[in-house]
């Protein structure tokens, strides 16, 4: 079986874990479930250094030539941790 038989066309990163996905449109719960995370967690899209909060009814369109990055941590906690470390 060749890699083309698998039908996974899109790659996303959730908390550093690369995931292969076949659907071109996904919602946050689908991504969290695939990453073995609680579907009730807040998911953030990280793009160009900014974190955008995703809501449960949001849909994300995936592109074949782009890897999207997502995080489950709260950015305010990360910033506070950075301040404490400094």
Whole-number pLDDT of residue 10: 93
Q: What whole-number percentage of the chain has pLDDT above 70? A: 76
Which residue in 39, 40, 48, 38 sits closest to 68, CA to CA?
48
The predicted model scores a pTM of 0.74
Torsion angle (degrees, nearest 10) of CA 45, 49, 50, 51: 40
Whole-number pLDDT of residue 74: 59
Per-residue pLDDT reduced to its tens digit, 6-56: 566 899 999 999 999 999 999 999 999 999 999 999 999 999 889 999 999
Per-residue pLDDT reduced to its tens digit, 60-80: 999 988 999 999 975 555 554
Whole-number pLDDT of residue 25: 95
Residues 82, 86: Cα–Cα separation, whole Å: 6
**What architecture is the 3-85 domain classified under in CATH?**
Roll (3.10)
């Amino acid at each position: 079986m060749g890699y083309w038989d698998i039908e996974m066309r899109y790659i996303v990163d959730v908390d550093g874990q690369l995931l292969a996905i076949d659907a071109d449109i996904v919602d946050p719960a689908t991504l969290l479930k695939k990453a073995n995370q609680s579907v009730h967690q807040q998911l953030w899209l990280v793009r160009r250094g900014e974190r955008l909060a995703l809501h449960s009814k949001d849909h994300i369109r995936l592109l074949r030539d782009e890897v999207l990055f997502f995080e489950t941590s709260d950015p305010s906690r990360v910033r506070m941790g950075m301040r404490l470390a400094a």
